[in-house]
Amino acid sequence: MKYDYIIIGGGSAGCVLANRLTENGKYKVALFEAGKPSDIWKVKMPLAILYTMHDPKYNWKYYSEPEPHLNNRKLFCPRGKMIGGCSAHNGMVYVRGNPNDYERWASFGLKDWSYEKVLPYFKKIETWSEGENRYRGGNGLLPVNQSKNKNPLFKAFVDSATEAGYEMNPDMNGKNQEGFGMYDVTIDKGERASVSKHYLNPAKNRKNLTIFTDFFVEKIIFDGKKAIGIKVKIKNKVENIFVNKEVILSGGSINSPQLLLLSGIGAAEHLKEKGIEVIHNLSGVGKNLQDHLETYIQQECKTSDTLYSYVNKFNMLRIGIQWFLNKTGPCSTSFLEAGGFAKSSPERDYPNIQFHFFPAFVIDHGLVEPDRHGFQLHASPNHPKSRGSVTLDTSNPYDYPKILFNYLEHKDDLKQTVEAIKIARKILGQSSMKPFAGKEIGPGSDIQTHELYEEYVRSKAETAYHPSCTLKMGIDDIAVVDQKLKVHGIENLRVVDASVMPEITSGNLNAPTLMIAERASDFILNS
């Protein structure tokens, strides 16, 4: 078997690439995904996100190494293991990031990634429910809808944010990100609008596209420093598949650096230590890992407007039947739609904190059901200064890599998090929340000193599920790809996923990942 392009990874970026690279009919493209197809009700139902997050058939279910600044806790790191990747199991909140994020990227010598350059690609992605304008798209493949969830807790929360002195913002993906309101979501007609559904499905019957699921790519094959194919496991037999033009790595911020290392591209010392032949010494592979760390402020709710109403088996069955029959009701939404962006202190240049409001308690990533009505506000610094890594544990491609986020290594990250908790408490303490707000469960009214705030963060903070930046784009010593996403020093090999971000963007990462893939498609087709 030989193809013009081989795409490794059928997640968000891989689905976009598969569509765009086969559009003109000129090129023969193969998409390889280690996981399964995602055309199942657990993916389609928005409220069922936890079913795939904890299912090893559909999720890699990684854990970090003991995090030294989080009381040596190992943090859960779920990653989609199916067609559609994380777009098939995320919270469906659609956030582009702040325009200033891309101006920062451009300032690193990456002029092709300024806000002016990326905005047309963000517009190209979407059909926005509120209509096309200078900042928003109206004719894209992906339906992006501003949430209309009528839960009274959402209105109370947004009203409270304005009472606390923050702006209301009707479009946080438009001209300005700062402010509070209802997020855009990738939910359409009561179903998850995954990238597999809206990008891959329209392309899957093209004669020049072959999709392989349950196919594990063990290694990239090189001739000298030129990528010429892949080693892939097919029905317990390892086969070589070759490429005419390029191998494109779209495995995500954990799997992509792991595969590069297994293939002999990375820090020579690390590769030799694992007994791997060094193809190219590239010290930045797996470095620069970034994520958003969030802390929950939890309060009991005095009314029954929370998801605890559906823990009851009868009610769960009732709302499930309602969704299966006509795609309406509570199961047709994620309940993650209210939130906003703010500065934690006046010296910040642009909003450095993201807030997510959720009308229920989340305990151990949803594995433990709450025992009462409650709500929580997630507070997360957008621009962490701490840096982690993804390294090999062994040279066996089936062994999981070692992930160390190194959260809070930089003291400013802890400072911002404490400031964010104080803002969250201020918002939840306003009069609009009074009819709903009961006893504060976390941190708890006894947590008032700076030392106690810090210990609450170290003992309770969790990932926002946004690992990124492990194969950074740039021109510095640890850059792995150039601004056209080609791997430095290697021919015919590109990386297209969230790992190429030089710095993490402000907010959820699915929208920026799609933009990167749309932009990369043009780079590839025009090269």
| Three-state secondary structure string covering 97-156 | CCHHHHHHHHHCCCHHHCHHHHHHHHHHHEEECCCCCCCCCECCCEEEEECCCCCHHHHH
Note the pLDDT of residue 1.
Answer: 82
* Matching CATH number, 1-94+192-289+468-527, of 3.30.450.40, 3.50.50.60, 3.30.70.2660, 3.40.50.300: 3.50.50.60
- Determine the Cα–Cα distance for residues 147 and 186; give it in Å rounded to an integer: 9
Judge whether residue 527 has pLDDT over 90. Answer: no
> Phi/psi of residue 280, each to 5°?
-155, 125
Q: What is the architecture of the domain spanning 148-182+293-381+408-460?
A: 2-Layer Sandwich (3.30)
Q: What is the pLDDT of residues 349-364, one digit of tens each?
A: 999 999 999 999 999 9
SS3 category, 220: strand
Judge whether residue 467 has pLDDT over 90. Answer: yes
Judge whether residue 524 has pLDDT over 90. Answer: yes
Note the pLDDT of residue 506.
Answer: 98
**In which band, very low, low, confident or very high, does the pLDDT at 136 lie, cut at 50, 70 and 90?**
very high
Note the pLDDT of residue 235.
Answer: 82
Q: What is the pLDDT of residues 291-322, one digit of tens each?
A: 999 999 999 999 999 999 998 889 999 999 99
Tell me the average pLDDT across 366-382: 96
| 259 close to 8: Cβ distance less than 8 angstroms | yes
**In which band, very low, low, confident or very high, does the pLDDT at 473 lie, cut at 50, 70 and 90?**
very high
**In which band, very low, low, confident or very high, does the pLDDT at 147 lie, cut at 50, 70 and 90?**
very high
Portion of the chain with pLDDT greater than 70, in percent? 100
Q: What is the pLDDT of residues 157-216, one digit of tens each?
A: 999 999 999 999 999 999 999 999 999 999 999 999 999 999 999 999 999 999 999 999
How buried is residue 244: exposed, middle or buried, by Cβ count under 10 Å (0-12/13-18/19+)? middle
How many CA atoms does the CB half-sphere of 488 hold within 13 Å? Answer: 20
Domains 1-94+192-289+468-527 and 148-182+293-381+408-460 agree in fold: no
Domain parsing of the chain, residue ranges: 1-94+192-289+468-527, 148-182+293-381+408-460
Note the pLDDT of residue 347.
Answer: 86
Tell me the average pLDDT across 419-443: 97
Active site residue 466: yes
Note the pLDDT of residue 337.
Answer: 94
Tell me the average pLDDT across 129-147: 97
Note the pLDDT of residue 422.
Answer: 97
Q: Residue 377: enclosing H or E segment and its boundaries?
A: strand 374-381
**In which band, very low, low, confident or very high, does the pLDDT at 414 lie, cut at 50, 70 and 90?**
very high
Judge whether residue 7 has pLDDT over 90. Answer: yes
| 27 close to 207: Cβ distance less than 8 angstroms | no
- Given the residues 356, 410, 466, 488, select the one marked as catalytic: 466
Portion of the chain with pLDDT greater than 90, in percent? 97
> 271 Cβ partners below 8 Å, 6+ apart?
261, 264, 277, 278
Judge whether residue 234 has pLDDT over 90. Answer: no
Average pLDDT score over the chain: 97
Q: What is the pLDDT of residues 380-407, one digit of tens each?
A: 999 999 999 999 999 999 999 999 999 9
DSSP string, 404-419: E--TT-SHHHHHHHHH
Q: List the one residue out of 363, 356, 440, 379 whose CA is nearest residue 157.
A: 356
Q: What is the pLDDT of residues 53-63, one digit of tens each?
A: 999 999 999 99
Tell me the average pLDDT across 69-98: 97
How buried is residue 368: exposed, middle or buried, by Cβ count under 10 Å (0-12/13-18/19+)? exposed
